Amino acid sequence: MQAWDAGHRVTDVTPHELIGILPVADSLHTRYMAASDTWRAHRKGCEPCQTKQRCETGAPLLQRFVRLQDAYLTHLRNRP
């Protein structure tokens, strides 16, 4: 998981996860939770981000969180 993130855009879901070769739940959920924590921790101490004016640091953090949340929820919906 960490190794994959190191070599790819952090917002991406691995192709292998998308086509179901790898088990998704653990790694995707872990990344989703980590992104959520990171974003919330930043927003807590960042006034612009609390007022919907994302700062340069906060914008990608939020984007990553949203993307991972979408991917995770999609995964749950598509679960057999």
Interface residues toward Zn ion, by CB under 5 A: 46, 49, 55, 58
CB 66, min distance to Zn ion, A: 15
**58 or 60, CB closer to Zn ion?**
58
Residues 28/44, Cβ–Cβ less than 8 Å: no
**22 or 46, CB closer to Zn ion?**
46
Largest CA distance in the chain: 42
H or E element in which residue 39 lies: helix 25-44
CB 4, min distance to Zn ion, A: 26
